[in-house]
Chain A
Amino acid sequence: MPNISVTINGITTSVREGVTVLEACELAGVEIPTLCYHPDLSLAGNCRMCLVEVEGWRTLAIACVTPVTPNMVIHTHSKKVRKARRTVLKLLLANHNVNCPECERNRNCELQELSEKHNITTNEYQTTPKPVSVEEVSPGVMRDNSRCIMCTRCVRTCEELQSVAVIKPVGRSAEIKISTFMDRGLDGVACAQCGQCINRCPTGALFETSEVRQIWEALEDPEKFVVVQTAPAVRVGIAEALGLPTGRSTGQMVASIRGLGFDRVLDTDFSADLTIIEEGHELIGRLGQALQAGDPNVHLPMITSCSPGWIKFIEHKYPHLLSNLSTCKSPQQMFGALVKTYLAEKEGIDPANIISVSIMPCTAKKYEKERPEMNASGYKDVDYVLTTRELASMIEEAGIDFEHIAEEKFDRWMGHSTGAGVIFGATGGVMEAALRTAYEVVTGHEIPFEGLNVTPVRGIEGIKEAAITMPDRMADGFEFLAGVTLKVAVAHGLSNAERLMKKVSAGEADYHFIEIMACPGGCLGGGGQPIPTSPEIRRKRAEAIYAEDAALHFRKSHANPEIQLLYAEYLEKPLGHKSHELLHTTYTPRKD
């Protein structure tokens, strides 16, 4: 597209034809306030916050949807624009629940920020606020429509990014609200609990179901032995949640969590590695059955099961593919099952007194821990789940100086991290970790990628594919794989997952193994991660994840010394009797 000339606030500049007024202003360094706009979503043009004046126009223009035209003359803070923006803001505030101190999003609210920037101190349009109505309660996600400004970012997230589409505008005009089918609430419909809507809500209308209070109580109870696991993506998100730049901060995170009073600070990376061992052997087993025994009933492609939002999605939408899922529990639940068995034995603590907490980038994990089958230890495997954001709020409440705290290390037995475990936090990471291990198991050699970096499965592409051809000489027992080309695919975001599942259902996919993560970018873009999110923010988090991987001594799951110890002392062998009891699970078909 050719460049055209436009004038913004008196300064003429050249921009690419086809960009919007908003983009042109951004390029020119002019900030336009927005609310319904989000870089991950389609354009709605609803909130009318980004109004600008275009010379020759009868009405004001909406910057986010209006394309620039040659010689357009734009004013972004003329009297007319300023009045309109202030009025729009006041209208949104007029019946908004402005009990900000009670709101989860206090100090991180786009409406609050804009009100501050525009100096809204009085409101001539003030009216009765919408009643507080936590109408949609579910294990992971809550909605309070008294804080909703009808920007529809959640609706577009649910439909466009996630193909779930369970929340929609209902009614019209004064009665309009965002709701679910027959107003059943998120718990009564096919919500995946992914929390992506929370990440894109500009206000506090959507938030996670909090368990912070229960965790403080557990920490304050001397009888309880409180064990915490931290997921890979938390360590690249927590700094952001505390207002610091994105980056690796594992040491500070561990120190801060220990400072909160947890008895053991452990790492979900450990059980990520364990997942790789179990899942890798499961895959090799299925391949063997198919290729060696010629069994036509083997369920291939095998699909990963780490992401509970994805699990709920497939249970609702593709129940006929449940046998394709790996039977492995997610790392969180494997960890939980081992905390109250293996760890309890090693620490010599009565599992009844253990409180098992996990810190996750995820809201669906809150749902997952409530699944009735998740009690293999004889207790609830995971008692409480905190999001990255909730952890940040606890660190703030405790007055811990995260930025300057001296770095510390995880506790032992289930606290050893490998690079393979860390990259679980990024889309493609499970696949990469699985390939690093599986390839070595079946060939006896390291995977032939420079620095073990399986780059074809990295990156932000919605669906990634790779094919790896096995050498002619295999390790003993795996000769059936000689010369076989292993085909894999990776999808992140449930819309991409749906595209892939349609292909699988139609028999158009000849993959052997598929990794799916419910959230765009993988766990680093999870529904429990810091707000805001954008492709740029997720790219930075991914960089931090891969930097952490590269910096670690052990980068392959099977090399994790604590994993080796676990098998030697407790589990005996992958897919063994104890593994099946503690680490594997079943799935439930659900109605759409």
Chain B
Amino acid sequence: MAAGKRLLLGDDQPSIGEALIKAMDMSPADVVFEVRESDIRGRGGAGFPTGIKWNLAGAASGDHKMVICNADEGEPGTFKDRVLIEKMAWKLLEGMTIAGYAIGSSHGIIYLRAEYPYLVPILEKARQDLISQGLLGDDIQGRGFSFNIEIRSGAGAYVCGEETSLIESLEGKRGEPRNKPPFPVNSGYLARPTVVNNVETFAAVPHILLGGAEWYQGLGRDDCSGTKLFSISGDVENPGVYELPMGAALRELLELSGAKDIAAVQVGGASGSTVTPDELDKPMSFSALPPGGSVVVFNSSRDMLDVLENFMEFFVHESCGQCTPCREGNRRLLDIIRSIRAGEIASRDDLKPFFLLADVMKAGSKCGLGQTSPNCFVDIITKFIAFPGDKEGA
């Protein structure tokens, strides 16, 4: 199997604290530089370059800078962060501590989704272990650098995976996305400069520090850097989390997990793209097929309209309701999906206004939820649904 090197969940793990101590031997600016050079991009889904984020937060003026770990993975079909925390919680904490050192922050918060209450003891134990080893807390390793981490729970809202909603939620408010600018790196949690990164991003940081930017970059494919965790589920023999080079072809993952009779694959969760069997050789890269953390496989027995309806019900339930395109748009898309199911739509042309609606939602919604929720509608209707009025062979 040409799976490449496994870092995050590999058998060969660095010893705890090694990367942090190496980081503290460097200047904070050099740590940021190393992360920047590694070209790692956010593993949550949006793919913002992590080094740039750290650089901006490091340079931002303001005291009490914050490091926040987004452990609110809610994208349907995503569970990689859960597995990573179950197996390697320490690495996430160490990555956050390195981030704290790099940007000049002494306070970190893990925002853990409400659906994962059973991970709280695991994180708590990892935290206590690090503290007892002098790798977390006050005056780490006698270097004069202090960093503390709090674990906080969400309360069940997909939109809180969006970083500004997450911050609002941490501040005790409704998880409604903020207007940007200002960006969190300048004014985030309690208006402090704040770095928000995904669990997997933080967990990759110790590897980058130990192996070096160039080495890490070389692990990726197709202009991507590093490795990536993929959660795969649906019609596969062996659902689970797989680690592949970032940018690996979708087909490779499908083969590893034993997918058969593939009719469609959802890449990047409900907000991602729905691909046909013709597209399996596409690389799972930010430019071609942004993977987020989720791949769901559908075999030929699945009715893709059912799938679409399920996705859209999810978005209707999870929209925060703040902005017009997302609040009203998702509902109208669900309505029309139900009309299609009821056989009320004779021709693809009747759906034109809804494709326009999808465009407006993508361009005009306030946050990523409304900007991406119409993707599945466009993909599935375009690629998988036949209408009475369709021409033969079209």
3 closest cross-chain pairs (CB), A and B? A176-B321, A124-B353, A91-B328
CB closest chain-B residue, reference A45: B179
Residues of A66-103 whose CB lies within 8 A of B: 66-67, 80, 83-84, 87-88, 91-92, 94-95
With a cutoff of 8 Å between Cβ atoms, the chain B residues found around residue A51 in the complex are 363-364
A48 and B323 within 8 A (CB) = yes
A92 and B324 within 8 A (CB) = yes
With a cutoff of 8 Å between Cβ atoms, the chain B residues found around residue A48 in the complex are 323-325, 364-366
With a cutoff of 8 Å between Cβ atoms, the chain A residues found around residue B327 in the complex are 150, 173-174, 176
Query: Does A296 belong to the interface (CB within 8 Å)?
Result: no
A23-31, A57-65, A241-249, A436-444 - the one binding chain B: A57-65
Query: Does B174 belong to the interface (CB within 8 Å)?
Result: yes
B363 and A60 within 8 A (CB) = yes
With a cutoff of 8 Å between Cβ atoms, the chain A residues found around residue B288 in the complex are none
- Taking a contact as CB atoms closer than 8 A, the residue among A46, A83, A174 that contacts B331 in the complex is A174
* Known A47-B323, A127-B331; further 17 A-B contacts with Cβ < 8 A: A43-B179, A45-B179, A45-B323, A47-B324, A51-B364, A59-B364, A59-B365, A80-B363, A87-B325, A87-B364, A94-B332, A125-B353, A150-B321, A173-B319, A173-B321, A174-B327, A175-B321
A91-B364 CB under 8 A given contacts A67-B181, A150-B321: no
- Interface 0/1 of A124-153, CB less than 8 Å to B: 110100000000000000000000011000
Tell me the bound Cα distance from A172 to B364 in angstroms: 19
Tell me the bound Cα distance from A169 to B331 in angstroms: 18
Q: How far is the CB of A585 from chain B (nearest CB, A)?
A: 40
Tell me the bound Cα distance from A498 to B299 in angstroms: 63
Tell me the bound Cα distance from A68 to B171 in angstroms: 29
Residues of A155-198 whose CB lies within 8 A of B: 169, 171-176
With a cutoff of 8 Å between Cβ atoms, the chain B residues found around residue A49 in the complex are 324
B320 and A59 within 8 A (CB) = no
- Interface 0/1 of B286-330, CB less than 8 Å to A: 000000000000000000000000000000111111111101111
B321 and A171 within 8 A (CB) = yes
A87 and B366 within 8 A (CB) = no
With a cutoff of 8 Å between Cβ atoms, the chain A residues found around residue B322 in the complex are 46, 150, 169
A91 and B356 within 8 A (CB) = no
CB closest chain-B residue, reference A92: B324
With a cutoff of 8 Å between Cβ atoms, the chain A residues found around residue B353 in the complex are 124-125
With a cutoff of 8 Å between Cβ atoms, the chain A residues found around residue B157 in the complex are 172
Most buried by B among A48, A66, A94: A48
18 A-B pairs with C-beta separation under 8 A: A45-B179, A46-B324, A47-B324, A48-B324, A48-B325, A51-B363, A59-B371, A83-B356, A87-B357, A87-B360, A91-B357, A94-B332, A124-B354, A150-B324, A172-B157, A173-B316, A173-B317, A173-B320
Most buried by A among B316, B322, B329: B322
Q: How far is the CB of B213 from chain A (nearest CB, A)?
A: 27
Residues of B336-366 whose CB lies within 8 A of A: 353-354, 356-357, 359-360, 362-366
Query: Does B279 belong to the interface (CB within 8 Å)?
Result: no
B321 and A169 within 8 A (CB) = yes
CB closest chain-A residue, reference B351: A124
With a cutoff of 8 Å between Cβ atoms, the chain B residues found around residue A83 in the complex are 356, 359-360
Tell me the bound Cα distance from A67 to B182 in angstroms: 10
With a cutoff of 8 Å between Cβ atoms, the chain B residues found around residue A84 in the complex are 360, 363-364
Query: Does B237 belong to the interface (CB within 8 Å)?
Result: no
Query: Does B335 belong to the interface (CB within 8 Å)?
Result: yes
How many residues belonging to A are interface residues under a CB distance threshold of 8 Å? 35
With a cutoff of 8 Å between Cβ atoms, the chain B residues found around residue A125 in the complex are 328, 332, 353, 357
B332 and A88 within 8 A (CB) = no
- Taking a contact as CB atoms closer than 8 A, the residue among A59, A91, A124 that contacts B329 in the complex is A91
With a cutoff of 8 Å between Cβ atoms, the chain B residues found around residue A175 in the complex are 321
B181 and A173 within 8 A (CB) = no
Q: How far is the CB of A140 from chain B (nearest CB, A)?
A: 28
Most buried by A among B329, B335, B360: B360
With a cutoff of 8 Å between Cβ atoms, the chain B residues found around residue A44 in the complex are 179
A88-B360 CB under 8 A given contacts A127-B332, A172-B157, A172-B321: yes
A59-B359 CB under 8 A given contacts A127-B335, A173-B317: no
Q: How far is the CB of B266 from chain A (nearest CB, A)?
A: 22
Tell me the bound Cα distance from A84 to B325 in angstroms: 9
Q: How far is the CB of A21 from chain B (nearest CB, A)?
A: 12
B324 and A88 within 8 A (CB) = yes
A91-B179 CB under 8 A given contacts A60-B363, A125-B332, A173-B319: no
CB closest chain-A residue, reference B320: A172
Tell me the bound Cα distance from A91 to B360 in angstroms: 11
- Taking a contact as CB atoms closer than 8 A, the residue among A45, A59, A62, A94 that contacts B328 in the complex is A94
Tell me the bound Cα distance from A489 to B163 in angstroms: 44
A95 and B364 within 8 A (CB) = no
With a cutoff of 8 Å between Cβ atoms, the chain B residues found around residue A59 in the complex are 362-365, 371
With a cutoff of 8 Å between Cβ atoms, the chain B residues found around residue A169 in the complex are 174, 321-322
CB closest chain-A residue, reference B362: A59
Tell me the bound Cα distance from A59 to B330 in angstroms: 18
CB closest chain-A residue, reference B322: A46
Tell me the bound Cα distance from A87 to B327 in angstroms: 13
Residues of B174-194 whose CB lies within 8 A of A: 174, 179, 181
B319 and A172 within 8 A (CB) = yes
A88 and B364 within 8 A (CB) = yes
With a cutoff of 8 Å between Cβ atoms, the chain A residues found around residue B174 in the complex are 169, 172
With a cutoff of 8 Å between Cβ atoms, the chain B residues found around residue A92 in the complex are 324, 328
With a cutoff of 8 Å between Cβ atoms, the chain A residues found around residue B365 in the complex are 48, 59
Q: How far is the CB of B146 from chain A (nearest CB, A)?
A: 36
Tell me the bound Cα distance from A91 to B316 in angstroms: 15
Tell me the bound Cα distance from A503 to B318 in angstroms: 43
Q: How far is the CB of A110 from chain B (nearest CB, A)?
A: 14
A91 and B317 within 8 A (CB) = no
CB closest chain-B residue, reference A168: B174
- Taking a contact as CB atoms closer than 8 A, the residue among B179, B318, B332, B359 that contacts A65 in the complex is B179
With a cutoff of 8 Å between Cβ atoms, the chain B residues found around residue A176 in the complex are 321, 327
Tell me the bound Cα distance from A491 to B371 in angstroms: 44
With a cutoff of 8 Å between Cβ atoms, the chain B residues found around residue A66 in the complex are 181
Tell me the bound Cα distance from A173 to B334 in angstroms: 13
